[in-house]
A and B are shown apart, each in its own frame.
Chain A
Amino acid sequence: MKIRFIPFEKLPYADTCWSLIEGPDERAYVAACCERSSGGTVFVLRYDPRTEELEYLLDVAEAVGCPPDDGRGALDSTGAVPNHPRRATQCKIHYSMVIGDDGVMYGATHLSGPAVGEVSYNPWATFDDPLRSFVGARLFAYDTRTEKVLWTDTLIPHEGCRCVALDQERRSLYAVGYPRDHFYVYDLGARTRRDVGRIGSVNPQAVWLDSRNRAYTTDDYGRVVVYDPEREELTTTDAKAPHAPYQDGWHNMVYDVVQVPGSDDVVGVNWNVDPYLFRLSPSTGTMTDLGPATPGIGGSGVRGVNTNHAGGLVFTAGGELLFAVSRGDDYGDILPHAPAALNVMNLETRRVREVCELVDEQGVVIPYISRAVRIGREHLVLGTVSRTMAGIAHVVLDGELAEGPWQGTPRRYWG
């Protein structure tokens, strides 16, 4: 198993990679985010695992008309001039990058990074501050074939965008905003937005679709929330994502969801201290507990929500589920130090085995995986997050992991 970490070398202050999605050109599109340093902004990159070429495609902040200095002139090394506050920057794209079959990418920005001259951003204290507030999740349509920005708009004023799904048939985006946790519908044709209302306090990390293009997400307790575009209604269902028996289901929002090849079902994992995997059949509403991503946590002690994070769900060519789990200590920092493990699950037997530890051939430890794409049978590209460097990981699968009928994975239209 070959594992190579690919840093974003040309972006010295990039610190995270959350969004990662496959284009119809069988290349991975990547968001290089910069959320922990003053004035940082996000870039879109493209990685071709077959040629191992990493391209720097788009300076998103420039493209959407929100440069880090807020158009107020050149910066010096100490930051902003006093009394000239700047807005929180267009620092990242969370799970809000989707690509249609025509190669047009829709990306929506997220907040968290501080303005130039500031060290952090507090949306609760500055939500409608006319000078400092995040201007909003900016939406851009970018043609990955011509490498041109087609248009830009504001998807959600003053708020960041946590996650997006693309309904190609209706030409709509479904999104969740941060911090108010509202569900939005955006009409790509009319370029209009509709606020459908609040769904909770903690953001779900994914909105996904079924074959009828109904949009799904979860509330704070993992209850499945469905938006029906025909009825234009948002409904909280009684289907609830599984959680550990010692928990009450709080903070059990969906983290990552992937479609089961050859099925309308999806498999997902929750954003929780003890994340569980689940399978949901949209036709019947049946929620199946696939068990804990990391068995044996037990619930005692003090544990952070990222300590035993699970993410990067993708199916192998043979139809087995690959996912990565972080392996932090009980008192893990906001991000664990230890290498994550790449696991594989057989959905029929629910047997899980570890494929490898995510340590690259140069010894780089990869502790946290946000998203994954599989390109061809053997190329696995992983979005990575750590405290020390930003980049992606390229894993070349071998043996039975690279064998099977599914040359590609079902195209994913959500972040």
Chain B
Amino acid sequence: MRPDLDGREWPVPLNLDPRYKDSPLMARLYQARWEGLVSEGYVAVRELAIRGSSRAIPPGECAITSLAMGERWLFGATSGRRTHIFAYCPLPAHEVVLDLAAPEGHTSVRHALAWLPGLGLFAGTSAPGQAAYAGGEVLKVQAPRLIGSVIQEWNPVPPAVGSLGVPAKGQGVACLIGDLSRGRLYGLTDRTGTLFSVDAQSEAISTHGVLDELGRFSPELILGPDGMVYGCGTCGRLMRFDPAAGGIEETGMELPRMAGRGQYSEVGAWTLDCETGLIYAGDVADGLLSVLDVRSGETRTLGKPTAQPHVRALTVAADGCVYGVAGLRGTIGHLFRYNARTGELRDLGVMAAGADRRWYGYEFDCAAAGPDGRVYFGESDRISHLFVYFPPVFGGAIGATA
């Protein structure tokens, strides 16, 4: 039916109302529109390529799902139709991403990259949804070498990649962490949540039982300040694996959550503050940030840093702050910061960059901190980049609008 417009009365829209049209508050309202993007600090993106020289890791294969900081390189791995393991050199004259390897038969390396100084880089592979999968491998990848700066006449030396074996036939590696003090790696398998360990030198793989008897485990492990390996099971129960004793036990601690949400309790991302020995954990269901003190057995909710659920990436930066990204898959994630000194929890907005290319960052699945204060986030979209966040040196923010 056609609209009856002849008799229609049109209310004066608020922003065209002569009473308010030129009001300073109206101008403030308009300005507020542009405040959703990160304006504190600086955001840059790096293409997964030798920029200007090579093709980037292709769309559909470049979602960054693992990051691990080395001494000279930041290492990353992707998920998609194929998985790629890459290295990023943050040195200004060498700044480049090298696509080191694309292991055949695997499609994902998710939260499963560990750098052990002196021993190398280790990756745990998987292939979610792939029928007749032989099993995820633990791979050892040599760090690459670059001869010359990447400004003029340079040559990368390709790394060697070797397999240490398959921890569980038919299962992928859900996560992998490293323990330099023991020279070991710890991981979970992705179907049964079986905890395994790998001796990085002898390459021997051992399994230690399932983390959760119902199989409701978070696909995450973390090395505690006490040298124990922690995981999360049904209802957010914090589980502990003692590498010396070899058993998995309950800690009596549970991941903090909203009321009545225990059955959904799951770790989305967590990170150890090596200075304080505290573990910061972000949950999936509600997007809460919590702090876990495994030495005292105390847990505390710090708050909900963004309006969104699912903390997907978390790291403690050199400035002592916790940085993370929250947001459901398929939406627009926000960067947040927790400052333990002031207690401030702050939504910093959507990451967007003007260099190397102009790009909005919507989805992220991992983070790592550089020793110089830079914070790295792995974009996990069909087309993905390494995001580099430079926290503000002296605090404050540049106005969102000029």
CA distance A96 to B358 in the complex (A): 26
Q: Does any Cβ of B come within 8 Å of A333's Cβ?
A: no
Q: Chain A interface: which size bin?
A: 35 or more
Partner of B14, one of A57, A79, A127: A79
A146 → B minimal CB distance (Å): 11
Q: Establish whether residues B11 and A198, one from each chain, have CB atoms under 8 Å apart when the complex forms.
A: no
Chain B 1-15 against A: per-residue CB contact (8 Å), 1 yes, 0 no? 111011000111111
Query: Which residues of B, 288-337, contact A by the 8 Å Cβ criterion?
Result: 307-308, 327-328, 330-332
If over half of A's interface residues share one DSSP class (helix, strand or loop), that class is named, otherwise mixed; here it is loop
Task: Give the CA-CA distance A9 to B11 in the complex, in Å.
Answer: 16
Taking the closest CB of chain B, its distance from the CB of A90, in whole angstroms, is 14
Whether B60 lies near A128 (C-beta < 8 A) is no
Q: A56 and B36: CB pair below 8 A?
A: no
Q: What are the interface flags for B35-74 relative to A under an 8 Å C-beta threshold, 1 for contact and 0 otherwise?
A: 1110000000000000000000001100000000000000
Find chain B residues with CB under 8 A from A182 CB: 382
Q: How far is the CB of B386 from chain A (nearest CB, A)?
A: 16
- Answer whether residue A180 sits at the interface, using C-beta atoms and an 8 A cutoff: yes
Given A10-B5, A250-B357, A127–B59 Cβ distance below 8 Å?
Answer: no
CB distance from A64 to the nearest CB of B (A): 13
Partner of A59, one of B3, B6, B32, B34: B3
Give Cα distance in the complex from A385 to B3, angstroms.
Answer: 23
Cβ B15 vs Cβ A201 within 8 A? no
Query: What 1/0 mask marks residues of chain B from 256 to 278 whose CB sits below 8 Å from any chain A CB?
Result: 00000000000000000000000
Known contacts A11-B5, A180-B362: does B330 contact A195 (CB below 8 Å)?
A: yes
Q: Which residues on the A side are within 8 Å of B2 (C-beta)?
A: 55-58, 147
Q: Is A220 among interface residues, defined by CB-CB distance under 8 A?
A: yes
Query: Chain A: which residue is nearest B28 at the CB level?
Result: A119
Residues of B within 8 Å of A180, CB to CB, are 332, 362
| Segment at the B interface, from A21-29, A32-40, A100-108, A396-404 | A32-40
**Total inter-chain residue pairs, C-beta < 8 Å:** 112
User: Is A124's beta carbon under 8 Å from chain B?
Assistant: yes
Please name the residue on chain B nearest to A9 by beta carbon. Answer: B5
Chain B residues, CB < 8 A from A195: 330
Chain A residue numbers with a CB within 8 Å of B29 are 118-120
The smallest C-beta distance from B228 to any residue of chain A, in angstroms, reads 37
Other-chain contact of A76, B6, B11, B36, B350 (Cβ < 8 Å) = B11
Chain A residues 30 to 68 lying within 8 A of chain B, measured CB to CB, are: 36-40, 43, 55-59, 62
Provide the residues of chain B in CB contact with A119, threshold 8 Å: 14-15, 26, 29-30, 33
Q: Contacts A56-B5, A77-B17, A127-B331 given: A120-B30 contact, CB under 8 Å?
A: yes
Q: Is the interface of B mostly helix, strand, loop or mixed?
A: loop
| Beta-carbon nearest neighbor of A76 in chain B | B11
A37 pairs with B15, CB closer than 8 A? yes
Cβ contact within 8 Å between B35 and A125: yes
Q: Are B14 and A201 in contact (CB under 8 A)?
A: no
B154 at the interface (CB under 8 A from A): no
**Chain B stretch 97-150: residues in CB contact (< 8 A) with chain A:** none
* Residue A334 interfacial (CB < 8 Å): no
Specify which of A36, A77, A250 lies most central, judged by the most chain B CB atoms within 10 Å of its CB. Answer: A77
Bound complex: CA A62 to CA B307 (Å): 30
Q: Is B381 an interface residue (CB 8 A)?
A: yes
CB within 8 Å for A128 and B357 given contacts A77-B11, A122-B34, A198-B382: no
Q: Does A405 contact B (CB under 8 A)?
A: no
Q: Across the interface, do A121 and B331 meet the contact criterion of CB distance under 8 Å?
A: no
Give 26 A-B contacts (CB < 8 Å), ordered by A residue. Answer: A13-B13, A37-B16, A38-B16, A56-B5, A62-B3, A75-B11, A76-B11, A79-B13, A79-B14, A116-B14, A117-B14, A118-B29, A119-B26, A119-B29, A120-B29, A122-B35, A122-B36, A179-B332, A179-B360, A195-B330, A197-B59, A198-B362, A198-B381, A236-B59, A250-B357, A251-B358
* Chain B interfacial positions (CB closer than 8 Å to A): 1-3, 5-6, 10-17, 26, 29-30, 32-37, 59-60, 307-308, 327-328, 330-332, 349-350, 357-360, 362, 381-383
A residues at B contact (CB < 8 Å): 10-13, 36-40, 43, 55-59, 62, 75-79, 114, 116-125, 127-129, 147, 158, 179-180, 182, 195, 197-202, 220, 234, 236, 250-251
